[in-house]
Amino acid sequence: MTTATDAVQPGETPVLEAVGVTKRYGDLTVVDDVSLRVRAGETISLLGPSGAGKSSFLRCLNLLEPFDEGHVFLDGELLGYRPHRGRLRELSDRQLNRQRRHIGMVFQQFNLFAHKTVLENLVEAPIGVLGVDAEVARKEARDLLDQVGLADKEHVYPAQLSGGQQQRVAIARALAMHPKVMLFDEPTSALDPELVSEVLDVMKSLAASGMTMVVVTHEIGFAREVCDRFVFMERGAVVEVGAGASLAVDQVTHERTRAFLSRVL
């Protein structure tokens, strides 16, 4: 049984599952009891006005941001903690890094390593963290660069690339770790308008290839066309979850989602 709010089949383990994730800054609750189950191969968009807590929630998913309540599971494995004598004990940094390498992250500001060439950016973690043979890693990195349309840029430094090119390198860098899921934090918000589509195209083909993706975005068109489901958030809480294709003012069910869409469409 597949519904718009939860596509996970009975007996199936979701690739990524968040249960009641809550994050507070003092009195301010920026992520309020958010739960989400992401099925293998699904693409999910997180929508909402700025300050809705979408990015904070996304950063909780790979534990870049510590949160106060709730749990995140990757392929059924609890992230960041392990049960120990009836309590949840924090994992060591080493164990945390071991879990994080399975989650790819793409940032709004690209965050490419400025002192390394494009190719060095791609092979740094596979060689240093996964222990992949350098030649193998380089070959794979070249294949990935080819996939994102930047095969000729391997010896160039990030500062010499356009924003769109940098973001495509950043996507390739995350893919080089063979992640189980890819998180995108407003990947096109820092780009000049004419560069947005080249990044969205890469993401589109990535989704088509079966990658599991969670995307914080303001690109409603992309969310409607590419994403299986959307999650609309406001003030830290989930307001509505629905099928991506139903992202239109006259099709969403919640009043606040409708108000948001009519503002941005």
Partner 1 sequence: MTTPIPTTAPTPADVIGMRRSKPLPVLRTVYAVVIVVAVLAVLRSLAGNEALDWPTVREYFFDPAVMEGLRRTLVITVLAIVIAIVLGVVVANMRLSKNPVLRGSSWTYVWFFRSIPLLVLLVLAYNLSLVYPEITISIPFGPELFSTSTQDLVSPMVAAVAAFGLQQAAYTSEVLRASIQSVPVGQREAAAALGMSHARTMWRIVLPQAMRVAIPPVANETINLLKATSLVAFISVPDLLYSVQQIYSSTFQVVPLLLVATLWYMVIVSVLSGLQYLIERRLRRAPGRRTARPTAVAELADKELS
**C-beta separation of 100 from 161 below 8 A:** no
94 binds partner 1 (CB under 8 A): yes
Query: Could you tell me which of 77, 58, 63 has the C-alpha nearest to residue 15?
Result: 77
What is the x/- site pattern for partner 1, positions 157-176, by CB under 8 A?
Answer: xxxx---------x--xx--
Dig out the tokens for 156 from the structure: 């160039």
Beta partners for 36?
A: 18
- Least distance to partner 1, CB of residue 156, Å: 7
Dig out the tokens for 51 from the structure: 């300050």
CA 199 → CA 155, 174, 238, 261, 264, distances in Å? 21, 14, 27, 23, 20
- Least distance to partner 1, CB of residue 111, Å: 4
Kindly identify the residues of this chain, within the stretch 233-262, that bind partner 1 according to CB under 8 A: none
101 binds partner 1 (CB under 8 A): yes
97 binds partner 1 (CB under 8 A): yes
- Least distance to partner 1, CB of residue 155, Å: 9
- Least distance to partner 1, CB of residue 2, Å: 31
SS3 (DSSP) at 203? helix
Considering only the stretches 22-30, 48-56, 108-116, 246-254, report the one whose residues sit in contact with partner 1 under the rule CB under 8 A: 108-116
- Using CB atoms within 10 Å of the CB of residue 70, give its burial: 0 to 12 exposed, 13 to 18 middle, 19+ buried: middle
Which amino acid is present at 100? R
177 binds partner 1 (CB under 8 A): yes
- Using CB atoms within 10 Å of the CB of residue 27, give its burial: 0 to 12 exposed, 13 to 18 middle, 19+ buried: exposed
Q: Which of 62, 166, 188, 217 binds partner 1 (CB under 8 A)?
A: 62
104 binds partner 1 (CB under 8 A): yes
Q: Which of 79, 105, 220, 261 binds partner 1 (CB under 8 A)?
A: 105
**C-beta separation of 79 from 19 below 8 A:** no
In this structure, how many other beta carbons lie within 10 angstroms of the beta carbon of residue 243? 18
Q: Which of 1, 28, 83, 93 binds partner 1 (CB under 8 A)?
A: 93
Kindly identify the residues of this chain, within the stretch 112-141, that bind partner 1 according to CB under 8 A: 112-116, 124-125, 128-129
Report how far Cα 250 is from the mean position of its chain's Cα atoms: 28
Report how far Cα 110 is from the mean position of its chain's Cα atoms: 13
Considering only the stretches 4-12, 19-27, 110-118, 234-242, report the one whose residues sit in contact with partner 1 under the rule CB under 8 A: 110-118
As a whole number of angstroms, the distance between CA 42 and CA 117 comes to 32
Number of residues that bind partner 1 (CB under 8 A): 33
Q: Which of 37, 100, 168, 229 binds partner 1 (CB under 8 A)?
A: 100
Considering only the stretches 8-16, 17-25, 156-164, 227-235, report the one whose residues sit in contact with partner 1 under the rule CB under 8 A: 156-164
List of residues contacting partner 1 (CB under 8 A): 62, 64, 93-94, 97-101, 103-105, 107, 109, 111-116, 124-125, 128-129, 156-160, 170, 173-174, 177
